[in-house]
Amino acid sequence: MLPIIDSLLIIFILTNLLLLGSGRLATYIQMIAVQGVLLGILTVFIQHGGFRLRFALLAIGSTAIKGILFPLLLARATRLVHIKRELEPVIGYTGSLIIGAFLLALSLWISSRLPIPTPGKIDDYVLPIAFFTIFTACFLMISRTKAITQVISYIVLENGIYLFGIPFAGEAPVLIELGLLLDLTVGIFVMGIILYHINREFSSVNVNELSSLKDSRL
């Protein structure tokens, strides 16, 4: 296996752990940017069929959208909604880190058991880290209460799925990948607008309070 891929993947794990252990929204947005850029680089490196134009296209597209556009949109949403720095997690940061370590062990175990037909030999760490990213995103969605962190967790989830898909990118039409990126972009855009309106209407973006919108007569 190539040391450079390993190093990039280890940095990827560290961004996930930082997401789990940090309480600052600015850090979250920076980590989204780092993950986007890392995925762009990994797209080029993980391929085994040699360099092809479509991968370069995919790499540039995903870096531009995930590494630059999303962080900018999220930063703008944060500014408009006046979100305070602290994220008020349901589970504390140290607890989250410990759970993160368990999730990593779990994903290493799962991917060692899972027979996945990959085209050719791929790096040992790609699949476990993809699983780990997906688990991290699910955990973040449950344990952080601000609506904007739900949006961020959604992006992290997509990053995990994208990482899982990189080894198979040679088999799938590039149109599907680009379509996914477009869907995601529109999704993030819409969520930013919704956040703004929620904040204007209720002056809070805490998802726990959204349940009070339920019709109480039912």
> Which residues make up the interface to other proteins (CB under 8 A)?
3, 6-7, 9-10, 13-14, 17, 21, 93-94, 97-98, 100-101, 104-105, 108, 112, 124-125
Question: Which of the 8 DSSP states describes residue 203?
Answer: S
- Least Å distance, CB 167 to other proteins, is 17
How many other CB atoms are found less than 10 A from the CB of residue 133? 28
- Least Å distance, CB 14 to other proteins, is 8
How many other CB atoms are found less than 10 A from the CB of residue 91? 14
Question: In this complex, which beta carbon is closest to other proteins, that of residue 98 or of residue 190?
Answer: 98
How many other CB atoms are found less than 10 A from the CB of residue 142? 11
Question: In this complex, which beta carbon is closest to other proteins, that of residue 62 or of residue 133?
Answer: 133
Question: In this complex, which beta carbon is closest to other proteins, that of residue 98 or of residue 176?
Answer: 98
Give CA–CA dist 206/146, Å, rounded.
5
Q: Which two tokens stand for residue 122?
A: 């791929």
Question: In this complex, which beta carbon is closest to other proteins, that of residue 26 or of residue 193?
Answer: 26
Give CA–CA dist 208/149, Å, rounded.
13
Please report, to the nearest 10 degrees, the dihedral formed by the alpha carbons of residues 45, 48, 54, 57 taken in order. Answer: 0
Question: In this complex, which beta carbon is closest to other proteins, that of residue 6 or of residue 86?
Answer: 6
- Least Å distance, CB 109 to other proteins, is 10
In this structure, are residues 147 and 167 in contact, taking their beta carbons and an 8 Å threshold?
Answer: no
- Least Å distance, CB 193 to other proteins, is 35
Question: In this complex, which beta carbon is closest to other proteins, that of residue 62 or of residue 96?
Answer: 96
Give CA–CA dist 73/146, Å, rounded.
17
- Least Å distance, CB 169 to other proteins, is 23
In this structure, are residues 48 and 122 in contact, taking their beta carbons and an 8 Å threshold?
Answer: yes
Give CA–CA dist 5/71, Å, rounded.
24
- Least Å distance, CB 83 to other proteins, is 22
